[in-house]
Structures are given as C-alpha cells and as structure tokens.
C-alpha cells in the first residue's frame, strides 16, 4: 500500500494519511472525529480490546483526538488514518513518553480498524506507517500493550518485529472475565 495525497482518498485500496493530510482536507477534517468515534464505539461494543469496557462517548473520542493532534504538532506523537472510498476505516497513533528519562521512546497506544475492513491489510498498513513515523522522529524503542486474547493483533505486531518483553496474568478486567496484559517492544536503534 502506498502513501499518497488526499485527492486519492476515493480509491478502493486503503489510503494511509497522516494527521497533517487529514487536517488539510476540509471534508476529511470535518468528518474525522465522528467517523473515529463510530469505529471505536462499534469495536468496543463488539468486545474489542481498546481500553474501554463500555463504548466511549463522542466527546471522549473528540478530546482524545484533540490531544493526539496537539501532541503530533509538537512532535510528540503520530496519528495515521486509513481511508477506503473516502470513508475512514481505521486509525492508529503513538505518543512519546512524557517522563524526561523516557523521552527517546514512544508507546503505540491504539490501532483500530472498522470490522468491515478486517483482513484487508489496513491494520498492517497503519502500523507500518506509524513505525516509519517513529523511525523518522528518532524514537529509539516503540512499545505497546495488548490484551492476551487479541491473537490477531499480537500476531501482526510480531510479524512487524515487535517482541514480547512481559506479561501480567489476569490483569485486564472486563466484568468477571480476566485477560493477560501483554507488553511488546520494537527496538528501532538497530539501524543507527
């Protein structure tokens, strides 16, 4: 999948845009928060492991995205959006760690793909773009955590070079159910 401009946002192949590209297109910018909310709320409603037990409100998603976009402008984050036929089908972001001793590193906090686009390479394209952004930003280690039953995501991350460095058994609570919290990292210093 190739990166291209917003004028190609009506193509069938997933188009991966950065925050600046989304922001520069008035039509995409106007619909972004609402579309992101729909994706996140639908996925959580379906049991997805995105950090919420109940679907987030539109206001909560809007505040989250505003914070990520502000961090992106400051050079402390990357936000990517995936479009098919001009419709948002996925999004993901990483944030640089705030603690001064951790500033060379970032955490891949969310990658979410609309259920209608699962299995079409959208998650891989988003994650690969975010890894590229981290490399260009000088991030040394990109971390993430995932719920232990999220085998598809964990397999994707492993295939992109992430390695598991820890696990907290039965740490994630969803009602009465418990899941492992799996910690993964990608060391980006190897090419330096």
The answer to whether the beta carbons of residues 153 and 146 sit under 8 Å apart is yes
pLDDT at 49: 86
pLDDT at 87: 95
Name the stretches of the chain with pLDDT < 70: 1-12, 191-192
- b/e per residue, 116-136, with b = 16+ CB within 10 A? ebeebebbbbbbbbbbebbee
What are the C-alpha distances in Å from 16 to residues 35, 82, 135? 15, 5, 17
Q: How far apart are CA 72 and CA 93, in angstroms?
A: 9
SS3 of residue 123 by DSSP: helix
The answer to whether the beta carbons of residues 93 and 78 sit under 8 Å apart is yes
**Residue 167 backbone dihedrals phi, psi, to 5 degrees:** -155, 135
pLDDT at 19: 95
The answer to whether the beta carbons of residues 35 and 84 sit under 8 Å apart is no
pLDDT at 32: 96
pLDDT at 191: 60
Q: How far apart are CA 64 and CA 58, in angstroms?
A: 10
Q: How far apart are CA 20 and CA 68, in angstroms?
A: 12
Return the structure tokens found at 119: 């299995």
The answer to whether the beta carbons of residues 80 and 17 sit under 8 Å apart is yes
The answer to whether the beta carbons of residues 103 and 97 sit under 8 Å apart is yes
């Amino acid at each position: 999948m190739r990166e291209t401009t917003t004028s190609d946002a009506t193509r069938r192949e997933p188009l991966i845009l950065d925050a600046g590209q989304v922001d520069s297109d008035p039509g995409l910018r106007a619909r972004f928060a609402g579309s992101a909310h729909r994706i996140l709320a639908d996925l959580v409603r379906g049991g997805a492991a995105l950090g919420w037990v109940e679907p987030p409100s539109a206001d909560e998603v809007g505040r989250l995205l505003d914070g990520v976009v502000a961090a992106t402008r400051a050079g402390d984050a990357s936000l990517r959006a995936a479009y098919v036929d001009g419709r948002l089908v996925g999004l993901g972001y990483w944030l640089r760690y705030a603690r001064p001793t951790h500033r060379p590193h970032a955490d891949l906090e969310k990658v979410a793909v609309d259920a209608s686009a699962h299995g079409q390479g959208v998650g891989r394209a988003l994650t690969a773009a975010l890894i590229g952004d981290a490399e260009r930003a000088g991030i040394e280690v990109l971390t993430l955590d995932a719920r232990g039953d999220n085998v598809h995501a964990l397999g994707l991350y492993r295939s992109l070079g992430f390695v598991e460095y820890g696990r907290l058994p039965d740490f994630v609570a969803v009602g009465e159910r418990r899941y492992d919290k799996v910690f993964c990292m990608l060391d980006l210093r190897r090419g330096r």
